[in-house]
Amino acid sequence: MHDEWTQGNQFELLPAAKRYVPAMLDAIEGARHSVLFEQYLMESGHHADLFIDALARASRRGVHVYLLLDTYGAKGFKQRDRDRLTEAGATICLFNPITPGRLSRSLTRDHRKMLVIDHCMAFTGGYCITDEFLFNWYDVVTKIEGPVVEDWAALFSQAWSSANQRQRVRSSPVRTQSNVHDQEASGAGMIGRVAHGRGRRYQEIRFSLQRRIATARECVWICTPYFLPTLSLRRRMMAAARRGIDVRLLVAGPRHDHPSVRYTGQHYYRRLMRAGVRIYEYQPTFTHAKFCLVDDWSTIGSCNFDHWSLRWNLEANQEVISSRFAHDMRRLFEDNLAQSQEIDPQAWAQRPRWKACREHLLGTANAWMTLLR
């Protein structure tokens, strides 16, 4: 079950849409039994069309296709596109319809991004299905094979059941035979687990990262587009840097899709850098990727490690313990860092006063709004 470690897995990093989109589409084309597709943000457009066409084709050749979409995130996914899928035989379920007058309940969103093929291959990462992701933004996905794929499927089924209790969609995701046991028996491959989060009720992704940082021996490298960290995460990053660990933070730079989020995150730069954390802002485009490396432990998935992810959302990340995968992750980081601008602490201290005021105001407002420590 998810949150438990399994052996005998294979993980492959697929940086940039030109790598992960064809890989996911090929996997859908090759599906024989089932496709489980869970996504937060899905908007009609060219990117969505690629997936709709592949999913509809799969459905027409008898593959069971299930889409679990977040109601809020899918508001730009047009009815005619939904019809194309359902007319081909796919089943769509919307997670947590907005309930007027029930703000707290409505804030819970399904932020996960996953694709599971025939219970033997899965994909997760930060990607969403909008044209920005295809043409302009940078993201990273991991392809997953091995026993841990069953845990991704189980997580999907759980969310599907809970969403359907409210909507009474009759069919349920099928289970099919997979090759996981062969792979497990072979003993080859990497150790991995699915870590998930359900708002404040269950925060394993958050605590897992914090535990790893607290016991790091060499490096703590974190990449997130929306750096709105909890106090506990900041404290652990600073403590690690103070005891000589190589702590680096890679965040989105000037091409941010929500500039105010960037300025809010900058509120924390001075203290982090004073503790020894090195901060980089990605330059070529907006990076929406979410992955971390702590020694030989890695995590990649939907979680932004921000208040929103931790307080309200359903999240899911792939965690891996493997020196081979850590090597790949390190190379990915190094490639991204080479395209980033490192913040110079002295130059930062001399930035215009109005910028510091802007960060302070936004940072204070954020702290008051979230009240999550």
Ligand X SMILES: O=P(O)(O)OC[C@H](O)CO
Dist CA 34 CA 116 (whole Å): 8
Residue 133, C-beta contacts closer than 8 angstroms, at least 6 positions apart: 17, 47, 127, 139, 288
Asked whether position 142 contacts ligand X by CB under 6 A, the answer is no
Provide the 10 A C-beta neighbour count for residue 172. 13
Cα–Cα nearest to 247, from 213, 270, 201, 197: 213
Report the residue from 10, 34, 44, 304 that binds ligand X according to the rule CB under 6 A: 304
Based on CB atoms, which residue is closest to ligand X, 10 or 40?
A: 40
Using CB positions, name the residue nearest to ligand X: 257
Based on CB atoms, which residue is closest to ligand X, 58 or 67?
A: 67
Based on CB atoms, which residue is closest to ligand X, 110 or 118?
A: 110
Asked whether position 69 contacts ligand X by CB under 6 A, the answer is no
Shortest distance, position 314 Cβ to ligand X, whole Å: 12
Asked whether position 41 contacts ligand X by CB under 6 A, the answer is yes
Shortest distance, position 172 Cβ to ligand X, whole Å: 26
Based on CB atoms, which residue is closest to ligand X, 41 or 74?
A: 41
Over the window 82 to 111, marking each residue x when it contacts ligand X by CB under 6 A and - when it does not, the resulting string is -----------------------------x
Shortest distance, position 135 Cβ to ligand X, whole Å: 15
Asked whether position 251 contacts ligand X by CB under 6 A, the answer is no
Based on CB atoms, which residue is closest to ligand X, 128 or 326?
A: 128
Asked whether position 40 contacts ligand X by CB under 6 A, the answer is yes
Shortest distance, position 302 Cβ to ligand X, whole Å: 7
Dist CA 54 CA 30 (whole Å): 10
Based on CB atoms, which residue is closest to ligand X, 128 or 332?
A: 128
- Which residues would be at the binding site for ligand X (CB under 6 A)? 40-41, 111, 128, 257, 304
